[in-house]
């Protein structure tokens, strides 16, 4: 299955590939053959990048699932105004080879949404959480607890798509948004949150259980 967010890139690339192949067939030119080869590679890579596989969400209603695919690169205590003070940040780095669709971790409601312009440091660098262009979504669970998900642009990623709006009721596994190319997703939870993952672990969006509220 292909993510709908990729159509704006895949369709023009496909048109270029077909047109280039047709022109090269009718009037073979060395440089055009090379150009068309590059276009085919870009199309195939984009087709791979914009894959959107179905995911099986945990049957445990209290399981807080990962909002994205990638590698856990940081777990640290922070001070977060959105949660009113002490919190824990769990950072997931998404390489260009990961699925880039983000999903809602837990049933609840969208409390607020904020978009902040910023820089485009490599998403694997921890300062990207503070300085890079990002969205910040605060959710309220059905049990009246709060957590945040941040979509963070990287060095290559220059387009963050977010479908969350204040007041929305959401379910685990719902499409939260999409980041085009390498990026980072941060989860911010209260200190009492039980964390069941560790730094270096690879997680699967919509399936891996990050932990649960106590």
H/E stretch holding 69: none
Please count the residues of the chain: 214
Hey, CA dihedral for 111, 161, 211, 82, is it positive or negative?
negative
What is each CA distance from 183 to 3, 89, 92, 126, 178, in whole angstroms?
Answer: 17, 16, 9, 12, 10
Q: Catalytic residue positions?
A: 183
DSSP 141-186: ETTS-EEEEEEEE-SS---EEE---TT-EE-TT-EEEEESSSEEEE
User: Tokens for 195?
Assistant: 């964390």
* Contact call for residues 133 and 118 (beta carbons, < 8 A): yes
Distance CA 74, CA 202 (A): 12
């Amino acid at each position: 299955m292909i993510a709908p967010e990729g159509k704006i890139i895949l369709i023009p690339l496909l048109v270029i590939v077909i047109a280039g192949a047709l022109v090269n067939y009718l009037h073979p030119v060395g440089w055009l053959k090379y150009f068309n080869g590059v276009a085919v590679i870009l199309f195939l890579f984009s087709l791979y990048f914009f894959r959107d596989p179905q995911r099986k969400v945990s049957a445990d209603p209290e399981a807080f699932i990962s909002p994205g695919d990638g590698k856990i690169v940081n777990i640290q205590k922070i001070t977060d105004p959105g949660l009113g003070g002490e919190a824990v940040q769990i950072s997931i780095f998404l390489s260009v080879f990961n699925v880039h669709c983000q999903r809602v971790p837990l049933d609840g409601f969208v409390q607020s949404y904020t978009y902040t312009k910023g820089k485009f440091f490599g998403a694997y660098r921890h300062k990207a959480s503070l300085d890079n262009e990002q969205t910040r979504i605060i959710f309220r669970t059905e049990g009246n607890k709060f957590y945040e998900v941040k979509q963070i642009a990287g060095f290559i990623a220059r387009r963050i798509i977010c479908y969350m709006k204040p007041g929305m009721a959401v379910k685990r596994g719902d499409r939260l948004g999409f980041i085009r190319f390498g990026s980072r997703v941060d989860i911010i939870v209260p200190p009492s949150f039980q964390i069941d993952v560790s730094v270096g672990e690879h997680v699967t969006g919509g399936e891996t259980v990050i932990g649960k509220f106590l």
